[in-house]
Structure 1
Amino acid sequence: MSEESSTPPVKKAPGLLRSTALVGIMTMMSRVLGLARDVLFARYIGAGPDASAFFLAFKIPNFLRRLFAEGAFAQAFVPVLSEYRTSGSVDAVRGLIDRIAGCLGLSLIAITVVAVVAAPAFTAVWGVGLLVKGETAMFWLASDLLRITFPYLLLISLTGFAGAILNSYDRFAIPAITPVFLNVCLIVAAVFVSPLMDEPVVGLAWGVLAAGVVQFVFQLPFLAHLGLLPRPKVDWKDPAVKKVLTLMAPAMFGVSVSQINLMLDTMLATFLQSESIAWLYYSDRLTELPLGVFGIAIATVVLPTLSRQFSKNTHEGYGTTLDWALRMVMLIAVPAAIALIVLAKPVLFTLFQYGKTSVNDVNMAALSLCAYSLGLTAFMLIKVLASAYFSRQDTRTPVRIGIIAMGANMVLNLLFVVPLHFIYQIGHMGLAMATACSAFLNAGLLYRGLRRAGVYQPGSGWLRFFVQLVGGSICMFAALMAAAYYVPSFEFLAWLDRCIYMALYVAIGLFAYVLGLAITGLRPGHLRHHSSE
């Protein structure tokens, strides 16, 4: 059978709850390893200038990866691919994939070459505060590290392209487990490579590059199994390529406003204490845990479904799917935000206060963690609400909303950071507070836009759901506060005692939350998605 005439294996699509659970479990594995990785970072490189230089060099390609790989590109490409699957032939789908692969690959190669050659210029944009403060050693170290880490963007963006294809064919597990290899490579680099280097952070930079290679190669056999392994062709005039680019340009901004705000936080943090970048990194990593495991998982699963429902004009199913996704997000985000605020110091002490990371570093990171956690619900809602726009191939509306949100973030940065930095020396907390507030504005405007366009009308049962959510959250909050009264300060506990008490906190909070939901009437059957395509 020739490759042109063969068709990808047909596989019955699993339910959204099952798919979300699968993606969530795989992502949880990655995040747990990510926490282990960050524990090693805290032990081996701490939160000093060298650590901040590495985090800066890692943030730059990582930020662009979120725009290209899991942000704008996926949101623009998946709806077009779903449209081709619905109305076109298998050969047309293969042609689309080949041409997108060629154009995307060529663009990424060009960007990577420019960035490696002009690394100091890229570093100056993100780390302008280092030059203003005269911290030239940290600046040049970050530039050297960026030359090693930046090609990760090329590799991980191609990995995201492959993952988008697999997700469109309901093979969610492979893209979800792929990030595990980043953490594995960085753990190996931290333990075995960094000690051999004059500058330990250089070993971590090589670990980032190795992870990009491993992640990309890992997904290729699964594309081959589908018969969709790309044969790159560069054709900028192809209508499908033009359509993806047209959708992608505004989507780069619309889907990644929260990431742009985090980038601005990093830039502004370079004007504050030199440890601020590391403090923000450790606190952001903890908010990324529920965001990545649940928020991105739900958005990843519903985007192909919403795109197919829109292509088939299944309006009722479209609304039901979006309704389900929003409830699932809130069911996870609200208690997660409360738990992170209540347990900010205990969890930071348990994970990071070892080796070169001081008690002051934990206390400072706890402030920004509480501030970021206030916006966790909004961060997660944005992922789902933005998917509703992109599934309809509307990328312009999120851009307009994103501009408003980013402008508000900059104003709030001035209002929060200036007094907090000059009076209390905690300006990094102001950066996190501004990001959280602007995220709520972004989510609110996205929701209002869907309502005004008649795309989404909330289904029945929302009032009952809110009562259940509030009831469960109050039970969890009360239980955690009661437990905190009897638990000693984590600062003076040994590692094993910290882990035991932290596990106790988690068990008590989870039990109280589930009990509160059950008492108020929420049952497992209410979590299932009942819409057909």
Structure 2
Amino acid sequence: MNLLKALATVSGLTLVSRILGLVREMLIANLFGAGLVTDAFNVAFRLPNLLRRLFAEGAFSQAFVPIIAEYKSQRSPDETLALVSHVCTMLGLVVFGVSMLGVVFAPWVIHATASGFASQPDKFALTVELTRITFPYIFFQAMVAVSAGILNTWNRFSIPAFTPTLLNISSIGMMLLAAPYFERPVDALAWGAFIGGVLQMVIQIPALARIGMLPRFSISLADPGVRRILKIMLPATLGVSVAQVSLLINQSFGSWLPDGSISWLNYADRLMEFPMGMLGAALGTILLPSLSKMKASGDADGFSATLDWGLRVACLLTAPSALGMMILAIPLASTLFQHGAFVAADTLQTRQALLAYSVGLMGLICVKILAPAFYSRQDIRTPLKYALISLATTQVLNAIFIFGLDMKHAGLALSISAAASLNATLLYRGLRKRQAFIPQTGWFGFLGKLGVALIVMGLVLHFTMGAQQAWLDNGTAWRVIRLSIVMSAGGVAYFATLFALGFRPRDFKRLAH
């Protein structure tokens, strides 16, 4: 398998999903702006989204993928299918129960995760009702996570990468077609999330059937593979929950800030999702099964070289993304969101959050690459320890940035960035200490050339962007045309400089079994 080709496939399909996600956020900005209604929906959908990461994508994938990769290479197809069926049934029953509890106890959930809303009865009541609609989303996503882990292990990356697109299509369709028929138009957005979850689950069925891994309902805790997964999932759940708890604490902080704060963070986060999804999530997706197979076969040199490849690709593509978002924060926010109910003041506030997030983009993406190296070795405890350190750091920085420096919502974003950078550093040092990762030669020259290309790109962006006020005052057509020109000029300058310095696409080709 060509990892660069697999990365291109996953990134390309992720790009489609992110573009549609951006369209969804543009519609939300246009219809609802950044205020009470959007804050309510963002809080209502954030918790099931975080639980999805906790139960499904996070702890489950970290425990499941290394073991299913081992079964695929060392056990019969029947034994592998039995493990898949047992795990799918167990996870489905647990998450279905959790989703029902979330529906029943929604008021208590909002009290715990957005306590500031309690002082505004209308906002609190709306958030509770939207939460009851969106909470079952986690069940559908748990089933999707099982499918994604299986398909990625079989090197079938396309369906898992395409699946998130269905959520965005459903949400866009409900806003455009169904919102006028709801007493509260925002309810259509919540039902769009519910329907999107159903569609995401259903599309997995044919793909699993084609590889003979469609799970059956089968309960068995006696399966040794299930016991191993459960043993790994406990510390994995704790590790992943650290990150989710951190986000929930930040949301609670945000609920006490002025109306719109959570929405500004969400719009900035949507822009961050482009590089995070196309690079961080995509690299993590293709690296985890590859690293797991190399670990299972004892290929230490291949393991280290593959991880080195992932880090170089991340640096090559993440650094210009972070610099570009810093320089073009206002052009990006104004072009994409400043329409209808979303005004220039919202653009300026979104810019503050985007600048703070951009600082930690490299750390956020490197965590997505380095953590799978531990998970592939079935070492969950070490990332957990580092995650706990990062959680404590985040809350200390929250107190400093919000109460000490009065940075408001931007302080929440900056604390996440700083903690992610710390987490990435600890993960890197941990791998080096264990000699699981030995960097290949040529890093100093690689980073030096990268630095030159970034300087050239930054200068081109700065001088072609023009005055920031023009982006706030001019119309949408002007912004779209101008932003296209500026981004094209910056991209050409960056890659042309790299080419002149000797970079070639073939240098990043990497094969894995």
TM-score w.r.t. length of structure 1:
0.94
Q: Whole-Å Cα distance in 2 between the matches of residues 522 and 253 of structure 1?
A: 41
Q: 2:16 aligns with which of 15, 29, 52?
A: 29
Matched, 1:128 2:109: no
Q: Which range moved further: 320-329 or 234-243? A: 234-243
Letter in 2 for 1:330: C
Q: Whole-Å Cα distance in 2 between the matches of residues 258 and 379 of structure 1?
A: 11
**Residues 59 and 237, structure 2, Cα contact 8 Å, conserved in 1:** yes
**Residues 334 and 471, structure 2, Cα contact 8 Å, conserved in 1:** yes
Q: 2:285 aligns with which of 300, 304, 320?
A: 300
Matched, 1:508 2:508: no
Letter in 2 for 1:159: V
Corresponding residue of 2:507: 526
Q: Which range moved further: 228-237 or 252-261? A: 252-261
Q: Give the Å deviation of 1:482.
A: 1.1
Matched, 1:493 2:458: no
Q: 1:446 aligns with which of 420, 423, 427?
A: 427
Corresponding residue of 1:428: 409
Q: In structure 1, list runs of 5 or more residues that go unmatched.
A: 1-13
Q: Whole-Å Cα distance in 2 between the matches of residues 300 and 118 of structure 1?
A: 34
Q: Give the Å deviation of 1:438.
A: 0.5
Corresponding residue of 2:158: 173
Q: Give the Å deviation of 1:487.
A: 7.8
1:366-385 map, 5 Å: 366-385=351-370
**Residues 55 and 95, structure 2, Cα contact 8 Å, conserved in 1:** no
Corresponding residue of 1:93: 80
CA deviations over 1:137-188 (Å, ceiling 9, x no partner)? 1111101111100001100111121111111100001100011100000001
Letter in 2 for 1:180: T
Q: How many residues align?
A: 513
Corresponding residue of 2:128: 143
Q: Give the Å deviation of 1:84.
A: 0.7
Letter in 1 for 2:265: L
**Residues 85 and 215, structure 2, Cα contact 8 Å, conserved in 1:** yes
**Residues 126 and 263, structure 1, Cα contact 8 Å, conserved in 2:** yes
**Residues 476 and 510, structure 1, Cα contact 8 Å, conserved in 2:** yes
Q: Whole-Å Cα distance in 2 between the matches of residues 259 and 293 of structure 1?
A: 21
Q: Whole-Å Cα distance in 2 between the matches of residues 238 and 129 of structure 1?
A: 46
Matched, 1:418 2:397: no
Over the aligned positions, Cα root-mean-square deviation in angstroms equals 1.3
1:267-306 map, 5 Å: 267-306=252-291
Q: Secondary structure at the match of 2:222?
A: coil
Letter in 1 for 2:288: L
Corresponding residue of 2:383: 398
Q: Whole-Å Cα distance in 1 between the matches of residues 426 and 468 of structure 2?
A: 42
Letter in 2 for 1:439: A
Corresponding residue of 2:95: 108
Q: Whole-Å Cα distance in 1 between the matches of residues 473 and 241 of structure 2?
A: 40
Q: Whole-Å Cα distance in 2 between the matches of residues 474 and 520 of structure 1?
A: 14
Q: Secondary structure at the match of 1:65?
A: helix
Q: In structure 2, list runs of 5 or more residues that go unmatched.
A: none
Q: Give the Å deviation of 1:488.
A: 6.6
Q: Give the Å deviation of 1:249.
A: 2.1
Q: Whole-Å Cα distance in 2 between the matches of residues 373 and 486 of structure 1?
A: 21
Q: 1:244 aligns with which of 226, 229, 238?
A: 229
Q: Whole-Å Cα distance in 2 between the matches of residues 196 and 419 of structure 1?
A: 47
Corresponding residue of 1:4: none
Q: Whole-Å Cα distance in 2 between the matches of residues 82 and 224 of structure 1?
A: 18
Q: Secondary structure at the match of 1:521?
A: coil
Q: Give the Å deviation of 1:294.
A: 1.3
Q: Whole-Å Cα distance in 2 between the matches of residues 255 and 309 of structure 1?
A: 24
CA deviations over 1:65-93 (Å, ceiling 9, x no partner)? 12222222111100010111121111110
Q: Secondary structure at the match of 1:478?
A: helix
Q: 2:57 aligns with which of 47, 52, 70?
A: 70
Corresponding residue of 1:318: 303
Q: 2:30 aligns with which of 1, 23, 43?
A: 43
Q: Whole-Å Cα distance in 2 between the matches of residues 239 and 479 of structure 1?
A: 58
**Residues 331 and 468, structure 2, Cα contact 8 Å, conserved in 1:** no
CA deviations over 1:118-141 (Å, ceiling 9, x no partner)? 01111111111222xx11211111
Q: Give the Å deviation of 1:257.
A: 4.8
Corresponding residue of 2:248: 263
Corresponding residue of 1:185: 170
Corresponding residue of 1:3: none
Corresponding residue of 1:8: none
Identity %: 38
Residue 123 and residue 54 in structure 1: after superposition, are their counterparts in 2 closer, same or farther (change >3 A)?
same
Q: Give the Å deviation of 1:255.
A: 4.5
CA deviations over 1:196-230 (Å, ceiling 9, x no partner)? 21211111111100001111001101101111110
Q: Which range moved further: 310-319 or 153-162? A: 153-162
Residue 321 and residue 38 in structure 1: after superposition, are their counterparts in 2 closer, same or farther (change >3 A)?
same
Q: Which range moved further: 69-78 or 163-172? A: 69-78
Matched, 1:226 2:207: no
Q: Whole-Å Cα distance in 1 between the matches of residues 181 and 405 of structure 2?
A: 40
Q: Which range moved further: 265-274 or 240-249? A: 240-249
TM-score w.r.t. length of structure 2:
0.98
Residue 259 and residue 516 in structure 1: after superposition, are their counterparts in 2 closer, same or farther (change >3 A)?
farther
Q: Give the Å deviation of 1:486.
A: 6.8
Letter in 2 for 1:154: F
Residue 280 and residue 374 in structure 1: after superposition, are their counterparts in 2 closer, same or farther (change >3 A)?
same
Q: Secondary structure at the match of 2:256?
A: coil
Q: 1:336 aligns with which of 310, 314, 321?
A: 321
Matched, 1:80 2:61: no
**Residues 53 and 139, structure 1, Cα contact 8 Å, conserved in 2:** yes
Q: Whole-Å Cα distance in 2 between the matches of residues 78 and 42 of structure 1?
A: 38
Q: Whole-Å Cα distance in 2 between the matches of residues 176 and 264 of structure 1?
A: 29
Q: Secondary structure at the match of 1:103?
A: helix
**Residues 100 and 232, structure 1, Cα contact 8 Å, conserved in 2:** no
Q: Secondary structure at the match of 1:230?
A: coil
Letter in 2 for 1:484: M
Q: Give the Å deviation of 1:499.
A: 0.6
Q: Secondary structure at the match of 1:411?
A: helix
